[in-house]
Amino acid sequence: MNLKSTRKKRNPKVGFVSLGCPKALVDSERILTRLRAEGYTVAPDYDSADLVVVNTCGFIDSAIDESLDAIGEALEHNGKVVVTGCLGANPQRILERHPKVLKVTGPHAYEDVLDAVHEHLPPKHDPFVDLVPPQGVRLTPRHYAYLKISEGCNNTCSFCIIPDLRGKLASRRIDEVLREGERLVRAGVRELLVISQDTSAYGADLRYPRAEWNGSSYETRFLDLARGLGSLGVWVRMHYVYPYPHVDGVIELMADGRVLPYLDIPFQHGSPTVLKRMKRPAHAENTLARIAAWRRACPQLVLRSTFIVGFPGETEAEFQQLIDWLEEAQLDRVGAFKYSPVEGARANEVAPHVAPEIQEERLARFMQVAQRISAARLAQRVGQEETVLVDGHEGNVAIARTRGDAPEIDGVVRIKRGASLPVGEFARVTLTAADDYDFEAVPKENPS
């Protein structure tokens, strides 16, 4: 069995039956949003599901009967059933009639449902194909959520086998995505993290169909997605965007404060010849000119990227081009990896591999430059007042993030005397110091 076929099997499918009121629907939405982001597929019927979640209603007797019947049907047709929702507040009643359910969790306890799914149908975290940060299946706090807008990818990057594993780009229609975003915001989400393999290509597979949402017409494309999500009044953060000309329109929305002035663009390299060997999308674009234009249009833009160092055939001159590119691009947040051959990737054959000790040495040189730039860019913001989103507390210190920090992959802001700042809410702070990656801050004093 080769790696591709092993990986192909890793696509656990969850069926979902949602009964009850709009509140229960929001819980269902949150559970589905999170499962989708973790790589689960939502199964359309019992037969194709590996496990079924039944979100019940226990409001009146007829609703209880309907819920118990739905659990029975799921058990009969599938066998692996997790029960949640209002009727879950009375587990005895469910277990008396259906002792074989795997787990009963109560209303609005969506974390417990996800725990039960993880336990009985493990997500088999795969760092190579997963879009959520690699902290395994740790749950996203309630105040931010990953919003997956499409599956698969139409590109053919030579180091990547995701299109073989996940198939061609398959976008969700814009009204479906916007409704999901809206429900999440209603449920208390303060930050939406848009993810996909190629966010700038969103809708291309469907030919950008139009749909109505909240009385306006939107095309299923990146710009309208940003426009729609930007109207929800929360932070909207864009991940996995490529530097195509049509991204310029989204930069305008960033300059207007509609979506976060933050772009996560996996540039991967700065040498045109390496990018060509990588077969990267937009490899022929003049990315430095584009970055400069974006920064002119939106000076507060924060750019995050990842790079591959020591790609097959990378010469010292090409590596130096990458360093020069980075010096000019002045990216705020940078991660880098040494090239490592993925079984089945065409890059393994494009050129001789770079020796591991040279890869190591180049990675260290690259990260030194990246770190220096990051530190200098953070230092420029010290003294400024900024809005942050509070993620948690460590003693009297609140841990938060600025517009330029995605959860779990970027830096944090440590707010002294921040114990009273509520988790999941925005706060105004003054940035007082910075190191290579993180800020220190104090709450902005109330003038009254």
Q: Using CB under 6 A, which of the segments 108-116, 152-160, 363-371, 417-425 binds ligand SF4?
A: 152-160
Closer Cβ to ligand SF4, 155 or 320, answer by number: 155
| Closest residue by Cα to residue 407 from 260, 271, 289, 279 | 260
Q: Cβ of residue 86: shortest distance to ligand SF4, in angstroms?
A: 40
CA 233 to chain centre: 19
The Cα–Cα gap between 113 and 104 comes to: 8
The SS3 call for residue 116 is helix
Strand partners, 431: 441
101 binds ligand SF4 (CB under 6 A): no
CB 8 within 8 A of CB 41: no
Q: Using CB under 6 A, which of the segments 9-17, 26-34, 35-43, 156-164 binds ligand SF4?
A: 156-164
- Alpha-carbon torsion (121, 124, 125, 131), positive or negative: negative
Look up residue 390 and give its DSSP letter: E
Candidates 153, 260, 363, 397; binder of ligand SF4 (CB under 6 A) is 153
The Cα–Cα gap between 320 and 340 comes to: 20
Q: Cβ of residue 204: shortest distance to ligand SF4, in angstroms?
A: 13
Q: Cβ of residue 340: shortest distance to ligand SF4, in angstroms?
A: 14
The SS3 call for residue 330 is coil
Strand partners, 81: 52
β pairing state of 210-213 and 191-195: unpaired
Q: Using CB under 6 A, which of the segments 21-29, 108-116, 150-158, 433-441 binds ligand SF4?
A: 150-158
Q: Cβ of residue 32: shortest distance to ligand SF4, in angstroms?
A: 23
Candidates 19, 70, 149, 160; binder of ligand SF4 (CB under 6 A) is 160
Candidates 157, 165, 303, 406; binder of ligand SF4 (CB under 6 A) is 157
Q: Using CB under 6 A, which of the segments 45-53, 54-62, 111-119, 160-168 binds ligand SF4?
A: 160-168
Q: Could you give the angle at the alpha carbon of 164 between the alpha carbons of 160 and 169, nearest 5°?
A: 95
Between 279 and 298, how does the x/- string for binding to ligand SF4 read (CB under 6 A)?
A: --x-----------------
87 binds ligand SF4 (CB under 6 A): no
Q: Cβ of residue 266: shortest distance to ligand SF4, in angstroms?
A: 7
Site for ligand SF4 in 172-211 (CB under 6 A): 197-198
Q: Using CB under 6 A, which of the segments 20-28, 153-161, 171-179, 411-419 binds ligand SF4?
A: 153-161
- Residues within the interface to ligand SF4 (CB under 6 A): 153, 155, 157, 160, 162-163, 197-198, 281
